[in-house]
Structure 1
Amino acid sequence: MKERNIFAFFHTMDKAEAAANELKKRGFATVQVDRFSPLPGGGKDTDLDAEIHGILRRQANSLTTSTLGLPPVNNDLRVLATAHPDASGMADGSPFYHSEDICVTVITNEERYDEAYEILERYGAHF
């Protein structure tokens, strides 16, 4: 049996999880929802409140601290974070308020590929 995979991207966790639940109800066994981020704190739980609490009261020693509220991180991560459009306030004109940082991964056989693709599309996935 030849397997195929689909990586579908969403703006919101609600839509991604709804699509994943629909796929599971239809019998797709391998379905996974992940959030990814180039910034520290990525992953499914992105609440950095505990780490950035008090950002306005402490001295901002970098662009990423003052604009993104990132806690002190290593220099490699800081360079990546500084390159993010939210750090500088610059935008590319994209109408999206944030990137599609939620991925639904589906592994299916060739015969059911189109069905899975259509389900994801119905929930607003981008490919």
Structure 2
Amino acid sequence: MAEKNILAYFKSPEEAEEVASKLKAMRAVDVQIDRISRFPGEPVEETFNPLTGNVSGLGALTSDADVSNKDVGELIAADVTASGMSDGRQEDVVTGRDILLTAVVEEDIHQQALKVIEESGGLV
């Protein structure tokens, strides 16, 4: 039987976990939950002092981004939000739904899985 994939977005990890357990009960082939962001890496966990020079870049200070290399740092610093003076009026910014549930289900339960996700507040 054929498999179908589903990408669903949630506002909290708890919402996604609840749906994941329901999908697993429906015998989903695979279910995974991740947090997504405009910037790569994990959020910065430590406090930086810009006076000491122990800063990976502007993106680490203003965008809470883990800058993994020089190229990524330059791209983040070029973003209009890096100065803190503007949001750039960007309409495509992730707002509120930063939890991604990825599921692979059999074709015969695909519509039922979509219904479960939407009834639980997920955006497909």
Q: Which TM-score applies when normalising by structure 1?
A: 0.69
- 1:8: Cα distance to partner? 0.8
2:63 to 62, 68, 92: 68
Unaligned runs of 5+ in 2: none
Identity of aligned residues (%): 28
Residue 119 of structure 1 corresponds to 116
Residue 16 of structure 1 corresponds to 16
Aligned length, in residue pairs: 118
Distance (Å, rounded) in 2 between the aligned partners of 1:119 and 1:63: 42
The alignment status of 1:81 with 2:73, answered yes or no, reads no
Residue 104 of structure 1 corresponds to 101
Conservation of the 8 A alpha-carbon contact between 2:81 and 2:87:
yes
Residue 50 of structure 2 corresponds to 58
Q: Deviations over 1:34-83 (max 9, x none)?
A: 223343433xxx4x32xx32x3x333775324312446642221134235
- The secondary structure found in structure 1 opposite 2:8 is strand
Distance (Å, rounded) in 2 between the aligned partners of 1:72 and 1:4: 35
Q: Which TM-score applies when normalising by structure 2?
A: 0.71
Give the aligned CA root-mean-square deviation in angstroms. Answer: 3.0
Unaligned runs of 5+ in 1: none
Q: Deviations over 1:9-51 (max 9, x none)?
A: 1222111111111211233231111223343433xxx4x32xx
